[in-house]
Amino acid sequence: MVHKNFAMALLAATVGACSQIPNKDTPPERESIPAQETSNALNTDTPTLVATEEPLPLEDMWDRLRRGFQLNHHTGDPKVQDYIAYFSRNEGYMARVTQRARRYIFHVTEALDQANMPLELALLPIVESAYDPFAYSHARASGMWQFIPSTGRSLGLQQNWWYDGRRDIHESTHAAVKYFNYLSERFDGDWELVLAAYNSGEGTVRRAIERNRRKGLGTSFWELKLPRETRHYIPQLLALAEVVSRPEHYKVPLHDVADQPYYARVDVGSQIDLAQAADLAEIEIEELYLLNPGYNRWATDPNGNHQLLIPIDKQEQFESALKLLPEDQRVTWQQYTIVRGDTLSTIARDYQTTVSAIREANKLRNNKIRAGKTLLIPSASGPAGHYAYALDQRVRHRQSQGHGQKTHYTVKPGDSLWAIARRLKVSVKTLASWNNMAPSDTLRPGRVLVSYDSTPDKNNRTTRKVSYKVRSGDSLYRIASKFSLRIDDILRWNKLTKSKYLQPGQRLTLFVDSAGQTR
């Protein structure tokens, strides 16, 4: 996660080429085929042979990354070794996360390559978000690169009801490169310090360096006293790079990813219903959302830049179909007759749009409306469930994931998440997680929160307390699946965090429903 409070000077900083760090671990370049020797070419007694060269196979993305690795992977460091071992025994995770990266990693690599940066950075979204563009953390960090709201805004990433640039694949990647450039200039091209600052903040790293200088100690990343998360952050990335360098050696499967573009960026020119855009491109709407996760709702931002990422093999089809569709037919319009008591905000909420969109569509100068008048309302063309990746649908899905008795709570003026959690007898973190929010998010009166009573029922004869001994290769996911449990419940029962790795021989307390258990 990117914790940062860097100066506004970033916005005025000149984007320059970053220093490169020699790396003894960088794989050697492939040997070039030697040219035919001159003596042979001049020897008339030797018959001339015409060689027919077979085309070399196309390299995949992992080959390209290896050639662009620049960092020392510090494979002798104990933390790096621990993470190498972790990735080696969790081959399923590596297969899944590299499969998820297939849409994005070429374009991330292109942006880093153009900025002359170490291509190890293309693996950073695995550490940050497991390459999930919808990832949202307890600290309000969002997107593949996990920018918090303030840093996103300082990097030019717009955030509003319709759109969140922190999740926009293209925009957030270029913002990340811009931020890397800024940090590289501040830390003289020391990429380990750059990464530490990306994770914990520039000020945190600077203060740690100054402390060591006063004590006459070294100022490399490995010698600084930094937050625990940061001390593990760089070793995790270096371990990933090492595993990608030699996947056969570490027996880690990497999903095949071609070294070629996955998507093209198309300027739509106006607001468009995402379901309609998917139909024009002849793709599933899920695919469109996965390429355009920055859009929070059923349509693009009416006041945005109107850029859509489309699978490159569908670009021509999409652009041709789009030309035949007039701008005023790219969203569905409904006529609504205003009744007494209506306000623009209540109408906007009912139709999943915004007051500004209604005002713009109806050329209203202010928010005043009169009963009996008719409004044109932009609305989704399909049912709500069709837009499963829209923000409100993701929240509803998350709210349905709990176990136990479900409780609804309507936020009142003056409420805080802490007070509500205390009233419902759950932790703030758990309540926030159930409602797809961060503990520090602002609560608005009228919002409905859900909570679950997931306390183990000790009077239930089918529920039994189990002491489980962690085995080699175990993970929280594997244990939760084995006993049909939620990972959050296992963490809560054992007072663990997701960042703490399980160790073979460790004992976990589980409350297992033996009637429904499957092994």
- Confirm if 380 and 273 have CB atoms less than 8 A apart: yes
The answer to whether the CB of 186 falls within 8 A of the CB of 165 is no
| Sign of the alpha-carbon dihedral angle for 144, 149, 151, 157 | positive
Angle at 374 between CA 370 and CA 378, to 5 degrees: 120
Residue pair 96/102 in contact (Cβ under 8 Å)? The answer is no
- In terms of Cβ atoms closer than 10 Å to its own Cβ (0-12, 13-18, 19+), residue 372 is exposed
Distances (CA, A) of 514 to 11, 113, 460: 58, 54, 10
312: which 2 tokens?
């490159």
Q: What are the catalytic residues?
A: 128
For 244-270, give the DSSP string. Answer: HHSHHHHT------BSS--EEEEE--S
Q: Give kind and range of the element (H or E) at residue 512.
A: strand 507-513
Residues belonging to the chain? 519
Torsion from C-alpha of 209, 210, 213, 215, nearest 10 degrees: -110
Cα Rg of the chain (Å, integer): 27
Count the neighbouring beta carbons within 10 Å of the beta carbon of residue 368: 8
Classify 321 as helix, strand or coil.
helix
Are 348 and 358 within 8 A, CB to CB?
A: yes
Residue 147 burial by Cβ neighbours in a 10 Å radius (0-12, 13-18, 19+):
buried
- All residues at 6 or more sequence positions from 20 whose CB lies less than 8 Å from its CB, including other chains: 70, 116, 118, 189
Residues 6 or more apart whose Cβ sits within 8 Å of residue 74? 80, 222, 235, 238
Angle (CA) 246 498 475, round 5°? 55
Angle made by CA atoms 32, 34, 39, in degrees to the nearest 5: 165
CB neighbour burial string for 88-99, b if at least 16 within 10 angstroms, e if fewer: bbbbebbeebbe
Secondary structure of 454-466 as H, E, C letters? CCCCCCCCCEEEE
Q: What are the structure tokens assigned to 95, written together?
A: 């297969």
Which ranges of 90-148 does DSSP label H, i.e. alpha helix? 91-100, 105-114, 124-129
